[in-house]
Amino acid sequence: MNDSLLLIEQIGAVRRIWLNRPNARNAQSQQMLDELDRAFSAAQADAETRVVVLGAKGPHFSAGHDLKQAQAERAEFTVEERWAYEQTRYFSYCMRIWDFPKPTIVQVQGACVAAGFMLANMCDLMVAAEDAVFSDPVTHTMGAAATEVLIHPWVMGLRQAKELLFTGGKISADEAKAMGMVNRVVPTDHLDEETLALAQRVAAAPPFALQMVKKSLNRSIDVQGMRQALSAHFDLHQLSHVSEEYRKTKEAGLATAILKGARS
């Protein structure tokens, strides 16, 4: 059996879930995503857990999907197979975090790229280290319509999202906070303790009241059409996978393309 790609830590009412592939910049493999979904399910079932904190070991939060694995194992998927795979492991897994009944906090350091950006923004609150950098170069580097869950305009504003995706640029932690995507920016060396302190403060509230206010807040954005917009984008994202632009990128090597975009 493969070693776990997560670390789980319980501190009172706070459960910390750590991505633990630092040597791969916490690239999200199939194993990691499956483990992460199970970890959230376990936290939901645990009555003692009131808040979940998602973090990552090493200097970077996540470089996105594990594209080397994708190219090695799923390059020959049919349209139907790709749709089913991404619907389950990318879209549905993310939406389960968005709908998670207990408050969630993500702490981000270093690179938060593409699917890393998508995953982080499924959480309720975000604490960023001063060295955090956010980007989604997928349109530029892969010829695909951004990531599978187009959360961008809902967390950073429409025009900012357009600039990020049209240019393939990067956003600093301070810029992300100014846009409203990040709640707090803290010194990198204090990221763990500052995030834990925030989580403990949230966990001090009555748990049922927290769940109800989260449900109401999420519904306030759902009634604006967020969920329908995300579903509609997922369909268009799948269409972009069968474009001539994407075919050329795939032939050149997906992992090489995304790495080039992350470094530019």
pLDDT digits (tens, 9 = 90+) for 4-37: 999 999 999 999 999 999 999 999 999 999 999 9
pLDDT at residue 1, rounded to an integer: 44
pLDDT at residue 264, rounded to an integer: 53
DSSP conformational letter for 15: E
Give the CA radius of gyration of the chain.
Answer: 18
Strand partners, 185: 128
In a domain, 186, yes or no: yes
Pair type for strands 111-113 and 133-135: parallel
In a domain, 72, yes or no: yes
Query: Mean pLDDT of all residues in the chain?
Result: 93
Instruction: Write the CATH number for 163.
Output: 3.90.226.10
Residues 17, 126, 217, 153, CA torsion sign: negative
Q: Which of 186, 208, 28 is nearest to 103 (CA)?
A: 208
Domain limits for position 168: 6-191+204-263
Residue 199, class by beta-carbon neighbours within 10 Å (0-12 exposed, 13-18 middle, 19+ buried)?
buried
- Over its length of 264 residues, how does the chain's per-residue pLDDT go in tens digits? 459 999 999 999 999 999 999 999 999 999 999 999 999 999 999 999 999 999 999 999 999 999 888 777 776 788 899 899 999 999 999 999 999 999 999 999 999 999 999 999 999 999 999 999 999 998 888 777 778 999 999 999 999 999 999 999 999 999 999 999 999 999 999 999 999 999 999 999 999 999 999 999 999 999 999 999 999 999 999 988 888 888 787 777 665 655 554 555
User: For residue 245, how far is the Cα from the chain centroid?
Assistant: 25
In a domain, 238, yes or no: yes
**What token pair was written down for 166?**
């049209």
In a domain, 197, yes or no: no
Look up the pTM and report it.
0.94
The Cα–Cα gap between 241 and 196 comes to 40
CA distances from 194 to 7, 76, 133, 172 (A): 19, 45, 18, 19
In total, how many domains does the chain have?
1
In a domain, 92, yes or no: yes
In a domain, 236, yes or no: yes
